[in-house]
């Protein structure tokens, strides 16, 4: 089986071709950074128009690099939510059109399921496994039981970690795009103990997250310093902020490991912690979670950096796995701006 995966849920237009025997044949990603740079963030209307202009080109490029014709495709998978609905609609309608013309199955993929399975493109990860899904719009802890089977353990009650990284980068005028990467880079030369930022919900006996108050604490710290901020000021803020995020995530993941271990205490399968999503590209976070996992007797798996951010390969994989189970969708499927993975 050979499948085309289409991703357009935010500000990357992406397509990939995946073969059930030969593996990933191509993955093409076009970012809209130049279009959104003047505004310092993603503008939904501009994003939708950019997807519309580029999606045909990206799909043709992905097919060409995979040495694949439209007639070679077994199915088409498109991210149909959650995300910026304008872009989601464009990817979904393009996928439906191709499936309709070729008379092949259409698979509506939950964008978050793509992230949840992305590590499987490179590593054989058996079900069940514990997942920390952390990105610009989401921060969740889930038990991944199988394709389409997810048990929510905890989630953010306000802002996602990726959004917090982006907002801190904007407050410090670090540049655009890649707020998370810019904060991580600045943190390398900073003192993580210089500012005593709060660890929201760290003492609560649950697995939920909160980053809104942490963002506010950073803003107050910035206002307390003489203007303009020095490079060292910015580095210290970034290092202290990043340390707070990693501390909170480590505490919550540790609780999730305990829950997972209890839920699968009778299982003879190896226990694995997977971290996925854009924030999973943060090297300090990966190191901290890897050390935590190893201390608790868990294997640690994270996708390569190119598979942490939005891409068509993860959509193709989710589509292929669903296709194997006969889980296809009607062309009447309606794209969804909100689509909880655990539904």
> What integer pLDDT is reported at residue 9 of this predicted model?
96
Q: DSSP class of residue 18?
A: E
Do 112 and 84 share a structural domain?
A: yes
> What integer pLDDT is reported at residue 215 of this predicted model?
96
> What integer pLDDT is reported at residue 108 of this predicted model?
98
Do 141 and 110 share a structural domain?
A: no
> What integer pLDDT is reported at residue 343 of this predicted model?
78
The overall pTM is greater than 0.85: yes
Do 317 and 296 share a structural domain?
A: no
Number of H helices, E strands in the chain: 11, 10
> What integer pLDDT is reported at residue 278 of this predicted model?
92
In a domain, 266, yes or no: yes
> What integer pLDDT is reported at residue 286 of this predicted model?
96
CATH number at residue 175: 3.30.420.40
Residue-number span of the structural domain to which 7 is assigned: 2-117+307-324
| Cβ–Cβ under 8 Å, residues 148 and 329 | no
In a domain, 337, yes or no: no
> What integer pLDDT is reported at residue 209 of this predicted model?
97
* Coil vs helix vs strand at 226: coil
Do 71 and 138 share a structural domain?
A: no
**279 phi, psi to nearest 5 deg:** -70, -20
Do 283 and 184 share a structural domain?
A: yes
In a domain, 182, yes or no: yes
> What integer pLDDT is reported at residue 6 of this predicted model?
98
35 exposure class (CB count in 10 Å sphere: 0-12, 13-18, 19+)? middle
Q: What is d(CA 314, CA 5) in angstroms, rounded to the nearest whole number?
A: 8
Do 130 and 55 share a structural domain?
A: no
Distant-in-sequence, close-in-space partners of 115: CB < 8 Å, separation ≥ 6: 133, 135, 276, 277, 314
Do 194 and 264 share a structural domain?
A: yes
Do 146 and 38 share a structural domain?
A: no
Q: What is d(CA 33, CA 122) in angstroms, rounded to the nearest whole number?
A: 27
In a domain, 297, yes or no: yes
Do 142 and 31 share a structural domain?
A: no
> What integer pLDDT is reported at residue 40 of this predicted model?
82
What the block records as the tokens of 22 is 């030969």
Do 248 and 318 share a structural domain?
A: no
Do 312 and 235 share a structural domain?
A: no
Q: Answer positive or negative: Cα dihedral of 335, 339, 341, 343.
A: negative
> What integer pLDDT is reported at residue 178 of this predicted model?
78
In a domain, 331, yes or no: no
Do 158 and 17 share a structural domain?
A: no
Summarised one tens digit per residue, pLDDT across range 83-100 is 999 999 999 999 999 999
In a domain, 332, yes or no: no
Burial code (b: 16+ CB inside 10 Å, e: under 16) for 212-228 equals: eebbebbeebbeeeeee
In a domain, 330, yes or no: no
Domain count, the chain: 2
Block means of pLDDT (10 residues each) for the chain, 343 residues, are 97 97 97 89 94 98 98 98 97 98 98 96 94 93 96 96 94 88 96 96 95 96 96 98 98 97 83 95 96 96 94 98 97 96 84
Q: Report CA-CA distances (Å) from 301 to 254, 286, 292.
A: 16, 9, 12
In a domain, 256, yes or no: yes
């Amino acid at each position: 089986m050979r499948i085309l995966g289409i991703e357009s849920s935010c500000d990357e237009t992406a397509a990939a071709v995946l073969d059930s025997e030969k593996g990933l044949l191509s993955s093409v990603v076009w970012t809209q950074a130049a279009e959104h740079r003047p505004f310092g963030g993603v503008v939904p209307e501009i994003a939708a128009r950019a997807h519309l202009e580029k999606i045909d080109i990206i799909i043709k490029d992905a097919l060409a690099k995979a040495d694949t014709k439209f007639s070679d495709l077994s199915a088409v998978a498109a991210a149909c939510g959650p995300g910026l609905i304008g872009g989601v609609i464009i990817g979904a309608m393009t996928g439906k059109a191709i499936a309709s013309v070729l008379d092949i199955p259409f698979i509506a993929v939950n964008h978050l399921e793509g992230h949840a399975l992305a590590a499987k493109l490179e590593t054989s990860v058996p079900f069940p496994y514990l997942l920390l899904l952390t990105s610009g719009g989401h921060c969740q802890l889930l038990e991944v039981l199988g394709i389409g089977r997810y048990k929510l353990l905890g989630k953010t009650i306000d802002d996602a970690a990726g959004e917090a990284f982006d907002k801190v980068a904007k407050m410090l005028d670090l540049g655009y795009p890649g707020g998370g990467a810019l904060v991580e880079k600045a943190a390398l030369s900073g003192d993580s103990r210089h500012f005593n930022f709060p660890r929201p919900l760290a003492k609560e006996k649950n697995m939920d997250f909160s980053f809104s108050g942490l963002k506010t604490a950073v803003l107050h710290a910035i206002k307390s310093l003489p203007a303009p901020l020095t490079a060292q000021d910015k580095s210290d803020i970034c290092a202290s902020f990043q340390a707070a995020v990693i501390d909170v995530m480590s505490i919550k993941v540790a609780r999730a490991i305990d829950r997972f271990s209890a839920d699968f205490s009778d299982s003879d399968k190896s226990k694995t912690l997977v971290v996925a999503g854009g924030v999973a590209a943060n090297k300090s976070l990966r190191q901290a979670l890897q050390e935590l996992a190893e201390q608790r007797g868990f294997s640690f798996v994270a996708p390569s950096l190119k598979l942490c951010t939005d891409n068509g390969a993860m959509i193709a994989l989710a589509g292929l796995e669903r296709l194997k189970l006969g889980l296809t969708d009607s062309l009447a499927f309606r794209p969804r701006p909100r689509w909880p993975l655990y539904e």
